[in-house]
Structure 1
């Protein structure tokens, strides 16, 4: 469940509790509206991914290698490798987590409101 403010989350929580809907709030966090914040990437990770995609690093076959990308970004080969791996891990982790949340939401929709538990992440 996404809420724009903590006050909105609090109001939704109070509403659910007041209407007999069990609610558990797990790890509430602010979601930025910009692309970087939306996907939990650092500025360096987003820049590296954007450049890698635009220059053909993700193509098969690759049209640029990591050394060339690292030079263009002004970082070492090792730094670029770590940025890309961390960014990839973050994106995949977020995608799988959201898929699990969607699956949980679908299963929760089959229960009656009185026995449903809503999770906020």
Structure 2
């Protein structure tokens, strides 16, 4: 059995939100701690119950779950992205986005407009991830 991934904690996700909204001058506020806790548990559930060990699958679930949770007053999608990137990094992989990642990130944001499926989000992470251990 593969070793359990290194998960992102709720305190870390809150800190990521504080940083991303602070950078744009917005006010940080955690409005639903339980929703955030549930969102952070989604990839763990995939890992345990579906036995999926693919870091891209788990990162995609983390990204979509946090963004959809609306746990914060502002910056939910940015926080979700930062949290997924941290999850990827702490598990020995990394994202390799271009210096100006506008178009790739816009493609990822298409998930929220129905232009990208959950599978498409997984594919996006696979496309931009440097494989673990490389």
Given the two structures, how large is their TM-score scaled by the length of structure 1? 0.26
Structure number with greater Rg is 1
Q: Which has the higher contact order (CA 8 A, sep 6+)?
A: 1
